Structures are given as C-alpha cells and as structure tokens.
Amino acid sequence: MLDSSNPKIEVYPTLLSTDKGTAYKQFLTFRVSLKSDNLHENAVVTALADGKEGTLEAKLEVTDVVAAPVVEPPVEMEFRPADTVGQPNKKHNANLYLNLGVIPLGRKVEISVIKSQGGLTLVDNGGKKTKALSIVVTKEHQVSETAVARIPVPWIGGGWGQFARIMAETKTPAGKVVTAIATLTIDQQEEGGLIRRIEYRDLGNQKCSDLVDSCIYINSAHALNRSVFGATKEEYANKVDNDRTAQYRLCAVVTEQSVYRLAEDLYLKNKLLLVPTAPITSMREFVDAKTDDFAPKLLKILVTSD
C-alpha cells in the first residue's frame, strides 16, 4: 500500500501486488508515478508491505516539485547541432528536431547528401551506406510529453578530412516545403577528445553547465558555481589556477558533462540499454561506473599537487 502525506502530490497506484513485480537482480521492481499540479510542494510517500515477520515500511521524501526540463521546439525543423564532428569508421548520429505543431506525426522526411568530399555517407536501418534516407515521423520519435520529435540520422565516414552537407526536406499539411541543413565532418582534432575548451559565462538559465559543439559552458549565474569560481571570467581564471577547491569543482563539472554526453551518444546508438522497469537505477549504475573511470584521470590534469 502506498500513500502520500500531501494530497497535492498524488501517488499511483495506491495498491500493489507482489506477484505483479518485475525481477531486477535480487529485487522485485514496481513502476510508481507521482503527480502534482502545484510547484514547490513537498511530501513523504510511504510504502507498507506485509512481510514474513511483520509490516515492512519504506519512505520517499519529495523535497520540491519543479518544472520538468523543456526541450524547446524549433520554429519548423532543424539539426541540433548544425555541425557534427566524428571519427573514421564509427557510426555517428546527426539529430534532426521537428516541431510537431508544424510537421505532424506521419509525415515523411527525405534526407540526402547534397555535397560531399570523400566517402562520408548516411547509413540505413540495415547498416548499408546510402546517399539518401526516407523516414516517416512516428510516435517513437516524439520526445515524451512535448510537441517535439527527434530523429537520429546515422552517418559514417572512412578517413580524416572527409565531410558532407546533408539536407532534410518535408512538407507541412498546408503544402509548404520545409528544409534543414547540417554539416558532417571527420575531424582529426576530434581524436584529442570530446571537449576542446571551457568557458565561464552567464547562461541565463538554471543549468549548472552545458556542452555545445565541444565546448563546456559553465554557468556563472548558478549559485554553487558563483560561490566557488566567482562572478567574472577573471575571477574564474584566477581561482582555477590557484584554488584547489575551484579545481575540484571544475573536475566535477567536466566529469559530469563527459559522462552524460557519453551516455546520450551510446543511448542514441542503442549501445546503452536501460532497464524499462528501473531506468533511473540502471542509468545511475552507468554514470557511477564511468565517473569512477573518468574522475581520477581528470584529477591528475585539473588539480595541482601543491
């Protein structure tokens, strides 16, 4: 039996049967949903179960109800990012985003290589190289609870310096032709790593940091960042050079962005499989393992020994 201490935070279902659970390692897992129409509420959700030796109890504390992350829809359709960099002989994805209010489900999107140098091509569902793809926008492409669709467009190249320009084209129900263009490049510099530079600036939102086009943007407006690094680029540069606390904080930010970008890339390539009944738990296992792998290496680079 499940119950919430706050009627403004509802829990579903309120009753569960153990024979309906799904096995995960040595546990039984159950999907439970919480719903609230009010921001900044809190509650304690209590689960009670009949055990062999009496009643078992577990509690979940909800400390705040915040707005869900928003994926901003494009005006019509666009690649994000518009320039994608990869390495030879590895399949990559260019992500095409569509505004479903303009281009509804069921529309066909034609994607083609309009200019290329070398052997860089698109890849179809069977893994075959091709110069053109035809993709129907389906419910599977829709980002959950948004009016945005995300279509991964697979591509591959065989050598350094190869590039291609691809175009996605479709029609709206009114007959308007909508296009989006992206540039794909096999760049020698990518061999050095995913992250090429770090900038400290006000991002105008509540993000701690963001990774865009191989640059980590650390948000100076974020309370913890500002407390550790200071308010300006000059303060940030001085702290990172001379302050061990700032160096540890920088290491944590770089590790987090690296791990989550790797998770996203692997997920889009179907190489990171999340357990449907425990997606957060299985994602956490991946994040913890990769953090343990990456963090010591970054510590040696970013934190001074003095």
**Domain residue ranges of the chain, discontinuous segments joined by +:** 2-62, 77-190, 193-302
Taking only the tens place, the pLDDT of each residue in 89-139 is 888 899 999 999 999 999 999 999 998 888 899 999 888 999 999 999 999
Instruction: Give residue 266's pLDDT band: very low, low, confident or very high (50, 70, 90).
Output: confident
Is the CB of residue 110 less than 8 Å from the CB of residue 149? no
Q: CATH code for 77-190?
A: 2.60.40.10
Would you say the pTM of this structure is higher than 0.75? no
Which of 33-37, 84-88, 125-129, 242-246 is least confident? 84-88
DSSP secondary structure letter of residue 74: P
Angle at CA 136, nearest 5°, toward 133 and 139? 135
Q: How far apart are CA 170 and CA 192, in angstroms?
A: 37
Side by side, the strands of the sheet bearing 43-51 are: 2-4, 43-51, 54-62
Angle between helix 244-268 and 279-302 (nearest 10) = 140
- Gyration radius of the chain over CA positions: 23
pLDDT, mean of residues 286-303: 86
Q: Which pLDDT score is estimated for 11?
A: 93
Q: How far apart are CA 113 and CA 115, in angstroms?
A: 6
Handedness of CA 56, 62, 67, 71 (dihedral sign): negative
Q: How far apart are CA 48 and CA 3, in angstroms?
A: 9
Instruction: Give residue 267's pLDDT band: very low, low, confident or very high (50, 70, 90).
Output: confident
Q: Which pLDDT score is estimated for 191?
A: 39
User: How many CA atoms lie within 13 Å of 222's alpha carbon, on the beta-carbon side?
Assistant: 17
